[in-house]
């Protein structure tokens, strides 16, 4: 379907995109606008606490949601929607206009390469077309009124719905290479925004999603825009998963390759928010939830201390360690918050890998290459020696080195190395028998590349320790 933009505003939107059910025999009516807004105003003073403490269905596994909805079939039907970026609360409500199911994206202004505001952001799917994304045995399954009421009670916002309860999509920026950055505003803390990035790989037929685990980061890496923000907020499991929810919605309506690879390489240090990260990863890999292979999820850490690696032992994901330099004095310059030697940190990583299942003993070492700082033959040889010793200590494992050319950050003194220096660095590693790859820069024209994510700091916001 391709409707004019102005026709996408339905009567449901006129009551704040919310349905509040009142039983009247076999009929339902919508709560009036004034009543809805009055209730919202009365609850607003306690709203932030409710957002922070109430777990939404998006962070519930099948077993948990089954207990809430009173049946496994109902929870499976709900997750069939969440998986493709749909809210089952609205999808299964016949009173809710099908043209408005994806309005969180359709109603955003077209930006960057297309300034025609009469166009909409992607295609509009009918309910029948959307059912084709569901498993065939559940395509005709409908959530009844009682189930929708139970579902509505799980949302933290009086406006109901996943998109009204966790984060609002406020901006989409698309680079010339197709890399797409999403800016989300958190309902739990309206002063804070987060960024997540979709990297489509047309040749592979899939997309990578770079997710954030915090607002800002306390590790303070000198070459990273996020590190300059300081740590402002830990994200909840819901706030991590809503990034994947919106990404799947956007990929569906813009016909982008499906997200099948996730990297925790956005804003934040994942091990500083381990509980939320681990919970999010478990739902990402659960078969009946997001159903992404553990080998397709990567959790990256700078390794603040040896003990953080122990926290990663049971996380069903590939591990990445952002080392940037092996020589302690140089690493201290690049990661000024580090308090441990690389040998101490390596011991922690070795202990972690040894207790992980053999098929998950995979490690990616990441190095942001900076011109005349850590890109010489000396640093390459030091990295090779360090890596080979790590392999020796662990034994049966797979190690790769990911070389990331520095991406320019505002007011930063560093520069990207020449292609010749990058390839020379890679050659030293390969000549030592290591698998070393150079990461292709994507999205740098829209500040969506590695190390460039940072949201504007609002007045009155303080850093957390």
pLDDT at 373: 94
Q: Is there a single domain that holds both residue 213 and residue 258?
A: yes
Residue 375, token pair as written in the block: 């890109």
Instruction: Share the mean pLDDT of the chain.
Output: 83
Catalytic annotation present for 217 = no
Domain boundary among 134, 162, 190: 162
Q: For residues 452-458, give the mean pLDDT.
A: 46
pTM, rounded to two decimals: 0.84
Residue 262 lies in a domain: yes
| Domain assignment of residue 459, yes or no | no
* Claim to verify: residue 305 and residue 284 sit in the same structural domain: yes
Q: Is residue 117 part of a domain?
A: yes
Tokens of 433: 């028998």
Please give the distance of CA 214 from its chain centroid, rounded to a whole number.
Answer: 10
- Which residues have C-beta within 8 Å of that of residue 446, sequence separation ≥ 6? 112, 173, 174, 175, 179, 181
Residue-wise pLDDT tens digits, 50-98: 555 579 999 999 999 999 999 999 999 999 999 999 999 999 999 999 9
Q: Are residues 290 and 329 in the same domain?
A: yes
pLDDT exceeds cutoff 70 at 273: yes
* Contact of 359 with 396, CB cutoff 8 Å: no
Q: What is the pLDDT of residue 50?
A: 52
- How far from chain centre, in Å, is Cα 234? 13
> If you compute the radius of gyration of the chain from its CA atoms, what whole number of angstroms results?
23
CA separation, residue 381 to residues 344, 419, 450 (Å):
20, 18, 24
Q: Do residue 179 and residue 149 come from a single domain?
A: no
Asked whether residue 304 falls in the same domain as residue 431, the answer is yes
Q: Distance between CA 230 and CA 249 in Å, rounded? A: 31
Domain termination site, one of 162, 191, 206: 162
In this structure, are 137 and 240 located in the same domain? no
Residues 128 and 213 in one domain: no
- For residue 241, what are the domain limits? 166-446
Over the stretch 397-420, which tens digit does the pLDDT of each residue have?
A: 999 999 999 877 665 678 899 999
- Catalytic entry in 195, 269, 379, 446: 195
358 within domain boundaries: yes
Is 391 a residue whose pLDDT tops 60? yes
Is the domain of 173 the same as that of 216?
Answer: yes
Among the listed residues 81, 221, 352, 450, the single catalytic one is 450
Q: What percent of the chain has pLDDT over 70?
A: 80
Are 91 and 205 contained in the same domain?
Answer: no
Judge if 185 and 267 occupy the same domain. Answer: yes
Residue 461 belongs to some domain of the structure: no
Q: Domain check: are 423 and 371 in the same one?
A: yes
Give the end of a domain, one of 138, 162, 186: 162
Whether 463 maps to a domain, the answer reads: no
Q: Does the annotation count 195 as an active-site position?
A: yes
Same domain, 155 and 250: no
What is the number of structural domains in the chain? Answer: 2
How far, in Å, CA of 35 to CA of 139, rounded? 35
Kindly list the distances between the CA atom of residue 447 and the CA atoms of 192, 206, 417, 427, 456, in Å, as whole numbers in the listed order: 18, 22, 18, 29, 13
CATH number of the domain that 200 lies in?
3.20.20.70
């Amino acid at each position: 379907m391709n409707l004019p933009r102005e026709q996408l505003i339905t009567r449901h939107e006129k009551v704040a995109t919310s349905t509040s059910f009142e039983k009247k025999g076999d009929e339902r009516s919508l709560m009036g606008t004034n009543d809805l807004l009055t209730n919202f105003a009365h609850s607003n003073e306690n709203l932030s606490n409710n957002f922070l403490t109430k777990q939404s269905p998006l962070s519930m596994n099948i077993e948990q949601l089954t207990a809430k909805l009173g049946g496994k079939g109902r929870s499976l039907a709900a997750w069939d929607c969440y998986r493709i970026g749909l809210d089952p609360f609205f999808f299964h409500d016949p009173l809710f206009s099908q043209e408005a199911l994806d309005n969180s994206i359709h109603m955003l202004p077209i930006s960057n390469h297309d300034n025609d505001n009469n166009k909409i952001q992607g295609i509009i799917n009918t309910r029948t077309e959307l059912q084709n994304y569901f498993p065939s045995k559940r395509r005709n399954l409908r959530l009844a009124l009682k189930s929708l009421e139970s579902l509505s009670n799980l949302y933290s916002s009086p406006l109901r719905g996943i998109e009204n309860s966790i984060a609002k999509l406020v901006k989409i920026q698309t680079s010339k290479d197709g890399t797409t950055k999403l800016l989300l505003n958190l309902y739990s803390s309206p002063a804070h925004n987060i960024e997540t990035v979709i990297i489509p790989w047309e040749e592979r037929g899939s997309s990578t999603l770079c997710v954030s685990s915090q607002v800002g980061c306390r590790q303070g890496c000198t070459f990273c825009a996020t590190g300059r923000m300081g740590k402002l907020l830990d994200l909840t499991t819901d706030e991590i998963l809503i990034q994947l929810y919106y990404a799947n919605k956007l990929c569906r309506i813009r016909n982008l390759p499906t997200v099948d690879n996730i990297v925790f390489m956005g804003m934040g240090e994942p091990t500083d928010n381990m509980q939320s990260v681990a919970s999010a990863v478990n739902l990402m890999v659960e078969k009946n939830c997001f159903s992404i292979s553990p080998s397709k999820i990567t959790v990256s850490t700078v390794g603040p201390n040896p003990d953080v690696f122990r926290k990663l032992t049971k996380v069903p994901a590939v591990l990445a360690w952002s080392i940037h330099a092996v020589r302690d004095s140089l690493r201290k310059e690049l990661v000024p918050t580090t308090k441990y030697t690389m040998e101490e940190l390596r011991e922690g990583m070795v202990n972690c890998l040894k207790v992980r299942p053999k098929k998950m003993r995979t490690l990616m070492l990441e190095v942001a290459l900076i011109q005349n700082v850590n890109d010489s033959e000396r640093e390459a040889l030091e990295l090779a020696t360090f890596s080979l010793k790590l392999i020796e200590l662990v034994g049966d494992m797979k190690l790769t080195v990911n070389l990331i050319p520095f991406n320019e950050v505002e007011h930063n003194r560093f520069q990207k190395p020449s292609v010749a220096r990058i390839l020379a660095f890679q050659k030293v590693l390969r000549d030592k028998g290591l698998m070393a790859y150079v990461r292709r820069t994507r999205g740098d024209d829209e500040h969506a590349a590695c190390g460039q994510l940072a949201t504007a700091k609002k007045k009155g916001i303080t850093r957390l320790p």
